[in-house]
Each structure stands twice: as C-alpha cells, then as structure tokens.
Amino acid sequence: MTEDPTPTPRPEDLAQDYDLLQIDPDCSPAELHFAFEKMIAAWDPDRFPHVQSWKETSEKKQREVREAYERLRVLHAAREMSGPEDPPRTDPPPTLLSVPVNPARDDEAPAEEDEVPPRETAKARFGSAVSRRSWLAAAGVMIGLLLILALLWPGLYHYETVRLDGKDYPLRINRLTSRAQYSDGRQWLDPPLPAAAPPAPAPLAAPPALAPPAEPPASAAPPPPFAAPVVVAPPAEPHAVPTPPAKAITIPREKPAPAPRIGTAPAADRTRVNAGLKGRYGIQVGAYPEKAKAEAQASALRAKYPTARVEAIRIEGKGPWHRVLVGRFENRDDALRYLKDHRIGEAYPGTFVQTSARP
C-alpha cells in the first residue's frame, strides 16, 4: 500500500484557508476557483502603484491565497475521488477574516492603507471644493451688492427742512416713491403722525385766535341791515338819490375791517389769490407712474382746489413720474400755512411741500 505524498492538512490550516479565500467549506470546485480569482484581483500589486507598502503587502497576500487555494483544491479533488462511501470529513467553522478585504468592492483600498483615498473619495472632495468655491463666490457677490447699496443709498433721498411753529424739522423725500418723512431728533416719522408729538397740536390750536374775528362779525352784524337797504334802495333811487351815497360811503369804510379775516382764514381767499400766480412751491398730494391715475386725482381735487394740476418729472432709474400738486406759492411759509389752514394733510396723508419742476 503506497502512502499519499501529499500530507493531510490539519483542521486549523483548513479553517485559515477558507477564511483567506472568504468561502464556505461546502462550496463546489467552481465556487472555489471563482473565489480564488477574485481574491487575486483584490490583492493586485498594480492597483496602487504609488504606495510602496501596498505593493509589498499585496504580493505577500497573493502568495498566501495561492497556497491556500492549492491545498483546498487538492482536498476537494480527494473528496470527489473518495465517493459517498467515505465518511464525511468535519470541517471547522469559518472564522473572521484576518485581512479586511471586501471582494464585492474592488475599488476600495484596505483599511490599513488609508494614505491614498479611493476615486470616490477624491471625487467627493473635489465636489466639496467646488461647492465651497461657489459659496465663496456667492458671499463675495452679496458683499459687493451691499457695498454698492451703501454707496448709492444717500442718493435715494432728497433732503429739505420744514419750519413749523418756529421749529425746523429735517425732511427727506424718497425719489422713487415720493414718500416724505420728518425727523424729531430720534427717528424718522411720517407727517400724518401728530400723536407722536403732542406739542404739535398745541400750535394748531392757535385757531382760538379766530376769536378776534368773532368781534368783527359783531361789528359786521350791523352792516347786513344796511346791506339789505342798499339792495332795496335801487328801486327807491328816484326818490332819495342823495342819501344812499352817504350810506354807501360809511359801509365801505366798515368793510375794511374784514381785512384781518383774510389773514386769519386764508383758506377760501388764498385759493383765488394763488390761482393765477406763478410760484416755485406747491403742495404735493400724490405721485404716480401712470399719468391716468394722476389726472384722475387732480380732477377730483379741482372741485375743492381749482389750482390742482399734474406735473411730469423723470426719476433716474425709474422713468417718468407724475406729481399731483395744489397751488403755486412764492415761498415755503405760504405753502405750509395753506397746507395747515385747509387741513389737506388730514384728507390726504403724506402730503408735503414740494418744489415745482416748472416754476
């Protein structure tokens, strides 16, 4: 009886061989050969040629894989030759891998060789760098826009001063929206906010000075009786022609008394006085980019303010705008007095004194 020249491997060696090839002991010869080729490809020395340690490790692992494959191939060939009458050989259960290689993902480097990242990691880093650059570019654009806005912001407003009740208030007018605001020293407020400054209504309460005009009416009360005879007198002129002139002389002398009434209540008379004058100042009630809206508001205002008109201007960057102005005044004080006496600001909030583009 001849002895088998090939020594029978120990169970411990077989367990290591199966673990090295990452295959189950009950595999077929075809599965064993497929696992061998896959492990050889996984430990290819040319996979990372720029890493010297990988080349040395891969060559060593390939030798171990080949030796394990030869031993297992001989073992499986002996099993097929022995037939079913031979008792089945108990193989040891597979153990954990000694080398962390995942054949299902050949494009990854082993965990111990983390010096060179795989292609996916390089692509991910490249994508993160591109996204980081895009964020930096967006941040640079935003900073540039903020700087441009900070430089152009003062030009968006037209600044003037308004004198009310002996006090000067800074006034700014937005060139785009024609919105006017005044400053009380702490913040910018809209003109129709008298509640923010309680003292302001006190000067407006000056109309009690209208009490003196109440006296002229008392003195003017007698004239109506005289006015009535004057109206009736013309039919009686043939009988008493000399007497009416004397009475007519006394009546005109008493009429100059209402002259203060023009100064104290210029609301009605001022409209007639300023209707045909040309002045640099007007009261802006509104502003619209559409001429039709401006004309509609001006026509509605003419029922009460015959001097209402539409004035076309051009705002840089916004095109033509149409202002709705009331009255023509030689100076700002007259315009402000007219604005307060007629209470235009109460009916049309945001009304302010504007310099006319065509004096």
84: which 2 tokens? Answer: 């079913």
Q: pLDDT tens digits for 192-236?
A: 644 444 455 555 555 554 444 545 444 444 444 444 444 444 544
- List Cβ neighbours of 94 (8 Å cut-off, separation of 6 or more): 15, 18, 19, 24, 25
pLDDT (0 to 100) of residue 200: 53
Q: Provide φ and ψ at 83, rounded to 5°.
A: 85, 180
Measured between its terminal Cα atoms, the distance across the chain in Å is: 135
pLDDT (0 to 100) of residue 139: 93
| CA nearest to 274, candidates 301, 298, 308 | 308
pLDDT (0 to 100) of residue 138: 92
pLDDT (0 to 100) of residue 224: 46
- Residues 283 and 353 sit within 8 Å (Cβ to Cβ): yes
pLDDT (0 to 100) of residue 125: 61
Low-confidence ranges of the chain (pLDDT < 70): 1-12, 83-130, 153-155, 165, 192-277, 359
Torsion of CA 240, 246, 249, 251, to 10 degrees: -70
pLDDT (0 to 100) of residue 97: 41
* Degrees to nearest 5, angle at CA 34 with 99 and 29: 110
Q: For the chain, give percent helix, strand, coil, nearest 5.
A: 50, 15, 35
pLDDT (0 to 100) of residue 288: 92
| CA nearest to 57, candidates 75, 67, 45 | 45
- Residues 323 and 178 sit within 8 Å (Cβ to Cβ): yes
- List Cβ neighbours of 19 (8 Å cut-off, separation of 6 or more): 94, 95, 96, 97, 98
* Degrees to nearest 5, angle at CA 77 with 74 and 78: 85
pLDDT (0 to 100) of residue 127: 64
Whether domain 265-359 has CATH 3.50.50.60: the reply is no
Q: Are strands 167-174 and 157-164 parallel, antiparallel or unpaired?
A: antiparallel
Coil, strand or helix: which one is 45? helix
pTM of the predicted model, to two decimals?
A: 0.27
Distance CA 56, CA 128 (A): 33
Distance CA 252, CA 264 (A): 20
Domain spans of the chain, in order of start = 11-115, 117-179, 210-260, 265-359
Q: Is 252 exposed, middle or buried (0-12, 13-18, 19+ CB in 10 A)?
A: exposed
pLDDT (0 to 100) of residue 230: 44
